[in-house]
Amino acid sequence: MSYLAQQQQGQDKEELKPKLDADPAGVCLSGGDWLPNGNASGWGEFISLTPERSEKYYQYNLQLSDTVGAFRKVPKTRHASCDTHNYSLPPFLEARVSVVISFHNEARSMLLRTIVSLLSRTPADYLHEIVLVDDASQDKTLLEELRAWLGTLGRPRFIFLTNKQRQGLISSRNMGAALASGDYILFLDSHCEVNDGWLEPLLERVSHRPNLAVSPVLDPIDPVTLRYQKGNEMLRGGFDWSLHFHWHKRELTNQELPETPYSSPVFAGGVLLMSREWFLKLGSFNANLKIWGGESIELAIKLWLCGGQIEIVPCSRIGHIFRRHHAFDFPLQYPEHPMEQELSPAQATYLHNSKIIAESWLDEYKSMFYALKPAARRIPLNHTSHQLQQLRRESRCHRFHWYLRHVSPELSSMLYEFAATGTLRNEDRCLHHAGVKNSRQQLILVSCYHDDITQWSLFRSTGQLSTQREFCLSVEVPLEVTLKPCLRTNDTASMSQRWHRMGTSLVHNQTHLCLDNPLKGRLELTACRWHAVSQSFQFALEMERQT
Ligand code: UDP
Ligand code: MN
């Protein structure tokens, strides 16, 4: 029974009946029952103090969030067999869970719904405490008001922490974890709704395997309609060589059902549960990482390499608002550095964090990262990594090739599938996909030093030359070089998308003509001329020797 349900036992059942509101996001319950004084006006008063802000500020529908209420029913998204499974749970005194939520400028209604969903749908015996870290939000009275109400509940314990200065998600989570005292820690975002029965399937998995970390399947909540949708349990988390997160297709093995827990190279986003002791032993989130970005990839790599595993558990579901853009600013990283002219603070922060991951864990494979992210070479790092070296030594962590071999065949196959990869340079310019204009994909040559410059991959087996967004360099009648969605190789039209290398030239298979840039900035196909500079296209990383 959840904590709130326990609290409310003995009260008049009629009073506890949820009130149904008509609401575009679906049937929802009024928040009144869960609020200070037990009435709906408590909710209204509480959220009315959200600083007036545009939706751009939050990157979701604030008005709707305010009207949805503190608690609503959410659709059952997990497989039916999850409801009938008899979970073998550890004794609750050995599996006390601390939930750590760090937030920066979250709307009151959203944060409260996250907390209320936890209180309502978590077995009280296991929910030891909730640690709320306010990372210097603009709403200065929010935490105090929450303390005045939640602090009096008795159980679970609440810990409140306010950063006077913005610390970022990574160190805020670490500070929260340092204050926690449960056996397990769950890291959660401040715009989530846990679904019924979310905790039991996770605890069942970790209880006998202390080095296992688990993620639920994240159910997307639409930022505009707040509709709670079913997340996909057929995906594994991963990353590419530029250290960007990617989903990979999950293949079912013989006996496996879609709802069976499955191993994953990386967590499902930033929501994860693991033993607190194990998290601290791994050195927490790498404290040299700044603000936001890369922290769960870093934790995943070190966890696997130092003797742990990661699983995604489809019977556990947590709703999360996936926003299209960051809802927060990144502080300037290098105010005096020329870097700042080229990269936005968000890009510079992500690149800085990625460089730390590459330097800490990728060993000799870090050259792949630098080939794809040449700007990272110029990012200054001002710290030492003694702690990590000690961890690697003491925990006898594997080297990165072990991860390639045993954990992420996807990452490893990227090494072998490509004949060449990275930026594609012709003289001093690089080939770039600049989005859509007049319903055509724009293919241009620009300075190679922009951070978001297109990364290309030439596939060994198919000859396709593809962007990371799966657009392929194609040739249309009459000999026009274009960018089209990559076609399957059993489609005969895909012949127009096949290329091969001759020296540094790119030869189109069908026409035997070479990619050429005869007038600066215009791509054409012309007769191949040996050593013609305008036909010389070099990838950042060539896997095959050029003759
Ligand atoms: N966050 C924070 N400090 C920051 C940036 C983010 O505490 O400087 C919080 C944010 O409020 C959210 C969590 O960190 O609860 C993850 O951020 P976000 O949801 O923007 O990341 P995403 O889910 O898009 O990966
Ligand atoms: Mn989030």
139 C-beta closer than 6 A to ligand 1: no
Task: Name the residue among 444, 418, 441, 420 with its Cα closest to residue 430.
Answer: 444
Tokens of 469: 């967004």
323 C-beta closer than 6 A to ligand 1: yes
104 C-beta closer than 6 A to ligand 1: yes
Lowest-confidence segment of 32-41, 210-219, 284-293, 346-355 by average pLDDT: 32-41
Please tell me the distance between residue 104's alpha carbon and the centre of ligand 1 in angstroms: 7
Please tell me the distance between residue 189's alpha carbon and the centre of ligand 1 in angstroms: 6
* Per-residue model confidence as pLDDT tens digits over 393-447: 999 999 999 999 999 999 998 888 889 988 999 998 999 999 888 888 999 999 8
192 C-beta closer than 6 A to ligand 1: no
Range of the domain at 263: 4-321
Average pLDDT over residues 125-145: 95
Show which of 321, 343, 377 is a domain's final residue.
Answer: 321
CATH number of the domain that 60 lies in?
3.90.550.10
Q: Of ligand 1's atoms, which has the minimum distance to the CA of residue 326?
A: 20
DSSP secondary structure of 20-85 = EE--TTSSEE-GGGGSGGGSHHHHHHHHHTSPP--HHHHTS-HHHHHHH-SB------S-THHHH-
Show which of 301, 321, 341 is a domain's final residue.
Answer: 321
Q: Would residue 394 count as lying in a domain?
A: no
- φ/ψ (deg, to 5) at 347: -65, -40
Lowest-confidence segment of 55-59, 77-81, 448-452 by average pLDDT: 448-452
Residues 299, 152: one domain? yes
* Per-residue model confidence as pLDDT tens digits over 458-507: 999 999 999 987 899 999 988 999 999 999 988 888 999 999 999 999 99
CATH number of the domain that 424 lies in?
2.80.10.50
* Per-residue model confidence as pLDDT tens digits over 84-113: 999 999 999 999 999 999 999 999 999 999
Please tell me the distance between residue 322's alpha carbon and the centre of ligand 1 in angstroms: 11
CA angle 119, 272, 114 (to 5 degrees): 30
SS3 354: helix
Please tell me the distance between residue 358's alpha carbon and the centre of ligand 2 in angstroms: 24
The predicted pLDDT at position 542 comes to 85
CA angle 197, 202, 208 (to 5 degrees): 135
Q: What is the mean pLDDT of the chain?
A: 88
Q: Would residue 488 count as lying in a domain?
A: yes
Q: From atom 8 of ligand 1, which residue's Cα is the shortest distance away?
A: 168
Residue 483's CB is within 10 A of a number of other CB atoms, namely: 22
Residues 449, 303: one domain? no
Residues 24, 140: one domain? yes
Instruction: Give the separation between CA 296 and CA 543, rounded to whole angstroms.
Output: 29
CA angle 436, 440, 443 (to 5 degrees): 75
Lowest-confidence segment of 362-366, 383-387, 423-427, 505-509 by average pLDDT: 383-387
Query: For the chain, what is the domain count?
Result: 2
Specify whether the CB–CB gap between 18 and 33 falls below 8 A. yes
The predicted pLDDT at position 545 comes to 63
What percent of the chain stands above pLDDT 90? Answer: 67
Show which of 321, 352, 373 is a domain's final residue.
Answer: 321
Question: Which ligand is nearest the CA of 320, by number?
Answer: 2
List, as ranges, residues with CB under 5 A of the ion ligand 2: 189
The predicted pLDDT at position 451 comes to 66
pLDDT confidence bin for 385, thresholds 50/70/90: confident
Q: Which residues pair with 429 in a beta bridge?
A: 426, 447
Instruction: Give the separation between CA 124 and CA 119, rounded to whole angstroms.
Output: 8
pLDDT confidence bin for 340, thresholds 50/70/90: low
Residues 219, 78: one domain? yes
Specify whether the CB–CB gap between 29 and 73 falls below 8 A. yes
pLDDT confidence bin for 339, thresholds 50/70/90: low
Question: Which ligand is nearest the CA of 346, by number?
Answer: 1
SS3 5: helix
Please tell me the distance between residue 103's alpha carbon and the centre of ligand 1 in angstroms: 6
Q: Would residue 133 count as lying in a domain?
A: yes
The predicted pLDDT at position 15 comes to 29
137 C-beta closer than 6 A to ligand 1: no
Residues 316, 458: one domain? no
Task: Name the residue among 275, 289, 262 with its Cα closest to residue 383.
Answer: 289
Q: Would residue 455 count as lying in a domain?
A: yes
Q: From atom 13 of ligand 1, which residue's Cα is the shortest distance away?
A: 189
- φ/ψ (deg, to 5) at 341: -70, -30
The predicted pLDDT at position 338 comes to 66
**Which one of 102, 170, 171, 325 would you pick to mutate in the ligand 1 pocket, going by the greatest count of ligand atoms within 8 A of its CB?**
102
Q: From atom 23 of ligand 1, which residue's Cα is the shortest distance away?
A: 322
132 C-beta closer than 6 A to ligand 1: no
**Which one of 100, 161, 169, 170 would you pick to mutate in the ligand 1 pocket, going by the greatest count of ligand atoms within 8 A of its CB?**
169
The predicted pLDDT at position 30 comes to 40
Residues 315, 438: one domain? no
270 C-beta closer than 6 A to ligand 1: yes
Please tell me the distance between residue 103's alpha carbon and the centre of ligand 2 in angstroms: 10
* Per-residue model confidence as pLDDT tens digits over 225-279: 999 999 999 999 999 999 999 899 999 998 899 999 999 999 988 999 999 999 9
SS3 394: helix
Q: From atom 6 of ligand 1, which residue's Cα is the shortest distance away?
A: 169
Q: Would residue 67 count as lying in a domain?
A: yes
DSSP secondary structure of 146-162 = HHHHHTTS-SSEEEEEE
Q: Of ligand 1's atoms, which has the minimum distance to the CA of residue 101?
A: 15
Residue 487's CB is within 10 A of a number of other CB atoms, namely: 17
Please tell me the distance between residue 533's alpha carbon and the centre of ligand 1 in angstroms: 47
* Per-residue model confidence as pLDDT tens digits over 36-45: 444 445 778 8
Question: Which ligand is nearest the CA of 103, by number?
Answer: 1
Q: Would residue 484 count as lying in a domain?
A: yes
Q: Would residue 521 count as lying in a domain?
A: yes
**Which one of 247, 292, 330 would you pick to mutate in the ligand 1 pocket, going by the greatest count of ligand atoms within 8 A of its CB?**
292
- φ/ψ (deg, to 5) at 114: -60, -45
Residue 31 has pLDDT above 70, yes or no: no
Residues 124, 263: one domain? yes
